[in-house]
Amino acid sequence: MAGRLHFRHQRRLTEGRFYTAGNRGYKPVMLYSLADLSTLSDLPFDEVIDVRSPAEFAEDHLPGAINLPVLDDEQRAQVGTIYVQDDPFRARKIGAALVARNAARHIDGPLADRQGGWRPLVYCWRGGQRSNSFASILKQIGWRVGVLEGGYQTYRRLVVARLYDTPVRQPVVLLDGNTGTAKTALLQRVRTLGGQIIDLEGLAQHRGSVFGLVGAKQPSQKMFESRLADALRQLDPNRPVLLEAESNRIGNCAIPAAVWRAMCAAPRIRLAATPQSRADFLTTAYSDVTDDIDRLETRIEALRRFHSADTISRWLAWAREGAFRPLALELMEQHYDPRYAKSQARSAHEILGEIRLAGFDESDLDRAAEQILELASGFRQP
C-alpha cells in the first residue's frame, strides 16, 4: 500500500478492529500521508475529493481530484469574516450548518451511486476542519474514507520540491527552430511513435508567442506546475525526454527553476524550413486566431511598441482582408526570426542534428518525427 496510514486517536488493535477508550467499536478517520509524488499513481483509494471552495480548486488541485466544496466561495468568505471580525464560536456554528447542508447535497447528488465498498480520499487546504468534517459524515455512512494529512499544502510542497529543488532525472533534449517549423505538431508525432515528450505549451495552454493563447485563459502558475510535475512523474527516468525550446515564460506561466536549468544545459535538434512553407503552415496552425479577426487585431496592436505605425497599419489591413499568408511572412521576417537569431547568438548549444523540412504534409511530418526520435534516443546524459 502506497504511503502510510495514521490514526488520530490513541487506540489498540484487537482482532483486526480499531477501538478507542470509552467508545468501543468506534473507527477513527484514517489519515493518509503523502510522502512522494510517485505514490499518486498508486493511491489505495477509488476517488480523490477536494472539499475546498470552487475558486481554490480552480487555482490548483491534486491530479484527478473532483471538487465537492463543503463551503462555496461566498460561504467561505462569510464564515472567515465572522471568525476574524466577530466571534469564532459563532463562525464555527454557522460553518457547521453550511457544511452539513452542502454535504447532504453532495451525498444526494454526485455521490448517490457510490456503493458500499467505495473508498474516497478527502482533502482541504491543510487537512483541517473542512476535510475532517466531510470525512466524518462519509465514515458514518460506512465508507472507508481517508483524509490527506496536511491537505493541499502537503501536495503543494512536494510539487515545489520536485520542480525547483530536484534535478530532472531524465536526459533532456530540446526541439529547436524558427516560428512555423511545426515543433509542437512534431512533438505529438514523436509521442505517437513511442518517444517521451513533455508539451510545455499544451500544459500552459499557450503557444509561446503574442498570438499564442489557446482557449479563454491560461492556467494559474500553480496549476501549470501541477501539470508539469505530473507529466514528469510519469516518465521513465532512463530514457530521454523531448521538449520544445522555449523562453523561460510561456505566456503568463514561468518554467520552474529545476526544469529551466535542465533545458538550458540540454542539447538540441534543430528544425529548418523555407519562410514560404512556414507561412503556409502557420495560417493553418493558427486558424483559431485567423477565424477571429477582432482577436487577431488585438494581438497585432500589442506589437505596436516594436514596430512602426506604417507596419502595424499594413498588418491590420492584411488581417481585415484575410491576406494571412503575407501577414505571416512579414511577422516572421520582421518580428520572430530576428528575435530567434538574437537568442541563438547569445549562447552556444550542442546540436544533435538538423532536420530540413521540404514541406508540412503528413509524409513530411512523419519522416521528420522518425528522424527526431532516432536522434533523441541516441542521446545519453554525460
- pLDDT tens-digit series, residues 284-313: 888 888 888 998 999 899 999 999 999 999
Distance from C-alpha of 248 to C-alpha of 245, rounded to nearest angstrom: 9
**101 plus 125 within the same structural domain:** yes
- Do the beta carbons of residue 296 and residue 290 sit within 8 Å? yes
- 78 and 97 within one domain: yes
Neighbouring-strand partners of residue 269: 175, 353
Q: What is the CATH number of the domain that holds 201?
A: 3.40.50
The C-alpha cell 542521446 sits at: 379
pTM (predicted TM-score): 0.87
**Longest Cα separation, the chain:** 84
Do residue 181 and residue 275 come from a single domain? yes
Inter-CA distances, 4 with 31, 35, 131, Å = 8, 8, 18
Look over the chain and give the mean of its residue pLDDT values, rounded to a whole number. 89
Assess whether 124 carries a catalytic annotation: yes
For residues 226 and 114, membership in a common domain is answered with: no
Catalytic pick among 124, 190, 213, 285: 124
Neighbours of 342 (CB within 10 A): 9
What is the pLDDT at residue 3? Answer: 44
Q: What is the pLDDT of residue 134?
A: 97
| Predicted local distance difference test score (pLDDT) of residue 27 | 57
Same domain, yes or no: 145 and 232: no
Based on the domain organization, do 194 and 126 belong to the same domain? no
**Does one domain contain both 217 and 317?**
yes
Q: What is the mean pLDDT of residues 356-363?
A: 94
Q: Which helix (H) or strand (E) holds 345?
A: helix 337-346
Percent of the chain with pLDDT over 70: 91
Helix (H) / strand (E) containing 179: none
Average pLDDT over residues 8-16: 31
Q: Please count the CA atoms within 13 angstroms of the CA of 273 that sit on its side-chain side.
A: 27
Residue 382 domain flag: no
* Rounded mean pLDDT, 1-17: 35
Q: In terms of domains, do 177 and 293 share one?
A: yes
Let me know whether 106 and 200 are in one domain.
no
3-state secondary structure at position 12: strand
Q: What are the residues whose beta carbons fall under 8 Å from the beta carbon of 89, sequence distance 6 or more?
A: none
Question: Range of 140's domain?
Answer: 4-160
The grid coordinates of residue 226 equal: 501541477
Of the three residues 117, 144, 160, the one that is the final residue of a domain is 160
Q: Express each pLDDT in 192-231 by its tens digit.
A: 999 999 999 999 998 877 776 656 689 999 999 999 999 9
Provide the pLDDT for residue 341: 87
What's the pLDDT at 212? 67
Instruction: Look at strands 30-33 and 146-148 and give their pairing.
Output: parallel
Look at residue 14 and tell me whether its pLDDT is greater than 90: no
Q: Whole-angstrom Cα distance, residue 25 to residue 34?
A: 27
pLDDT tens for residues 29-74? Answer: 889 999 999 999 889 999 999 999 999 999 999 999 999 999 999 9
Q: Is the pLDDT of residue 23 over 60?
A: no
CATH number for the domain including 63?
A: 3.40.250.10
Question: Has residue 264 got a pLDDT over 60?
Answer: yes
- The residue ranking higher by pLDDT, 103 or 296, is 103
Closest CA to 68 of 6, 121, 7, 146: 121
What Cα–Cα distance (Å) separates residue 333 from each residue in 74, 181, 280?
51, 14, 14
Flag whether pLDDT at 114 surpasses 80.
yes
Regarding whether 198 and 98 lie in a shared domain, the answer is no
User: Is 90 in the same domain as 131?
Assistant: yes
- String of b and e for 11-45 (b: at least 16 CB within 10 Å)? eeeeeeeebbeeeeeeebbbbbebeebebbeebeb
For residue 24, what pLDDT band results from cuts at 50, 70 and 90? Answer: very low
User: How many folded domains does the chain comprise?
Assistant: 2
Nearest to 147 by CA among 127, 119, 167, 117: 127
Q: What is the pLDDT of residue 13?
A: 26
Whether residue 133 is found in the same domain as residue 184: no
Kindly state whether residue 183 falls inside one of the protein's structural domains: yes
Q: How confident is the model at residue 28 (pLDDT cuts 50, 70, 90)?
A: low
Of residues 176 and 17, the one with the higher pLDDT is 176
pLDDT in tens, 308-338: 999 999 999 999 999 999 999 999 999 999 9
